[in-house]
Amino acid sequence: MSMQMQPQDPGEGARTQGAGEGARGHWWWPTAFTPWVGNAVRRLSRLAGHGGSALPGRVVERLDPGFLARALSGLPYGVVLVSGTNGKTTTTRMVATMLERLGLKVFTNPTGSNFTRGVVSALLGAVDGSGQLNADIAVLELDEAYAVHFVHQIRPRYCLLLNVMRDQLDRFGEIDNTARLLGEVAKTTTGTVVLNREDVRIARLAAEVSPTAKVSYFGLVNSLRSYFPSDDDMHAADMHAADTNDETRAPGAEARTVDDPPTSFARSPRLDVGREAFVSTAQPADVTLKHVADHEAEFIIDGAAVGGPMRLEGMYNLFNAAAALVIVRAVLADAGRPVDDQRLIAVLGEVTPAFGRGEVIEVQGTPVELLLVKNPMGFRLSLKSFAPQGHRTMIAICDEYADGRDMSWLWDVDFTSLRDTSVAMVSGTRAWDMALRLEYDDVGVEATDVDLEQAVTHFVTSDPATPKRIYCTYTAMLRARAELAGLADVPDVGVGR
């Protein structure tokens, strides 16, 4: 049972050092100038064509390192911090949208610029001239490493930790190091920590939580677990497949990995199970994903099945929706507001994909869908969620810092689902690496072009009657959106190329 929590007093949650720095800033810097200087940098950055997403935050972090703590420490219901390897941006969007639709004033960082400087940049556009933020609560997406920097400045009241996968090994090192970083977030959270019951490294973080904080879980019914393998499951299956001798396989049998569902997601039958099927041997989940289908989901909440239509794309987002529901219910309960699960599902069903995460852009009447991919599990789940038939497919891979320099993870993705349709275009700075990887899975490639902007234009304007789908890494996605803006109406989310 969640205890009634009073609105947060100004300054509660800020660490002592961060609060002191926030009150003083640098000894020579008049903190009243911070919003003015930050917004001036933003305007200059946008005039230069850089979007203005992170540069103002970088400048302000140097000039006034206490700005972040000052701006956020006075929020009545504190900060919700969302982190993990996959799904942060869309889950943050779900949480923020639901809380806003249910009556709270929400500040969030909607662009996916999830370093602390990105949060600072978003704050500069939201505070008034004196640096005050008019909001009840902040819902913030933070990169796993930068989340630790954030909690050293202000303690979140809530955190939502989604998963741990091998991602950007050049930045994070091995997967257990990423879990250690998220453990620091769990340790500093003062109110409710929401954990993924199905990810053993995330579930173990319950041991890091303060005795005064509450731990809640989201989870899956047993019949859906093969759709969402853990990082260990994926690598164990790959090792098993590598060790399997083709000659020992039964005639007509094909090698399968643990993440292969019985049919493609788009054509899968309704998956209903009895109550006994979602009794877990692990911790009981506050919200359990029970059923998934094309733009439809059903959840178990307090023992009752609640579901409805969804606008979100991809089955992985439906699992993350369970996580969002847990944190939203916790916030509403602490705020003394009624929790109506049917209303929550209805509001959740109105949430649209975040930019570049299933976002659809109409180009001359033809839908072009952008799907962010940045690690093996995310790419595998995207390929499982979206049948290639009836679409032309492009893959754009870049290796800038925001993408991760190490692209060896592409060899952990199974691309065989693209064999029947082939890939129309491969592009990006690592286009030839991607084309080679597809060749090893016997996937045909019609064209390869390292000039991403040229490739995007050619791809979306050829065969205009056929819907398009672009799988892209982060910086490739920004560049693709920028190029599409010259061909169609593309919303400006304040992110440069």
What pLDDT is recorded for position 19? 35
Mean pLDDT over residues 2-26, rounded?
Answer: 41
Instruction: Tell me the pLDDT of the chain averaged across its residues.
Output: 79
What's the pLDDT tens digit per position in 34-91?
766 666 666 676 666 555 556 666 676 677 778 888 889 889 999 999 999 888 888 9
What DSSP designation does 125 have? T
Alpha-helix runs per DSSP H in 255-337: 315-334
- Please spell the DSSP secondary structure of 51-69, one letter per residue: TTSSHHHHHHHHH-TTHHH
Partners of residue 288 on adjacent β-strands: 219, 300
Residues making up the chain, counted from first to last: 497
Looking only at Cα atoms, what is the longest distance across the chain?
77
Token pair recorded at residue 249: 């396989």
What pLDDT is recorded for position 324? 97
> Which residue do the tokens 């390292």 mark?
450
Query: Greater confidence, 274 or 340?
Result: 340
Query: Greater confidence, 282 or 458?
Result: 458
What's the pLDDT tens digit per position in 207-248?
999 999 999 999 999 999 887 766 666 555 554 454 544 444
Q: Comparing C-alpha atoms, which of 273, 340, 311 is closest to residue 103?
A: 340
Q: Comparing C-alpha atoms, which of 177, 155, 152, 151 is closest to residue 164?
A: 177
Q: Which band of pLDDT confidence, cut at 50, 70 and 90, is reported for residue 364? A: confident
Query: Greater confidence, 459 or 251?
Result: 459
Structural domains of the chain, ranges and CATH numbers in brackets: 16-223+279-348 (3.40.1190.10), 357-484 (3.90.190.20)
What pLDDT is recorded for position 122? 82
Mean pLDDT over residues 323-340, rounded?
Answer: 94
> Which residue do the tokens 């089955």 mark?
315
> Which residue do the tokens 């659809």 mark?
360
What pLDDT is recorded for position 32? 59
Q: Which band of pLDDT confidence, cut at 50, 70 and 90, is reported for residue 115? A: confident
Query: Greater confidence, 134 or 265?
Result: 134
What's the pLDDT tens digit per position in 371-409?
989 888 888 888 988 889 999 999 999 998 778 788 888
**Cα atoms in the Cβ-side hemisphere of radius 13 Å centred on 469:** 22
In contact, 306 and 341? CB cutoff 8 Å: yes
In contact, 411 and 494? CB cutoff 8 Å: no
What DSSP designation does 127 have? B
How far from chain centre, in Å, is Cα 86? 5
What's the rounded Cα separation, in Å, for the pair 139 and 109?
Answer: 8
- What is the enclosing helix (H) or strand (E) of 220? strand 214-220
Q: Please tell me whether residue 215 adopts helix, strand or coil conformation.
A: strand
Residue 282: pLDDT above 70?
no
What's the rounded Cα separation, in Å, for the pair 374 and 35?
Answer: 34
What pLDDT is recorded for position 357? 66
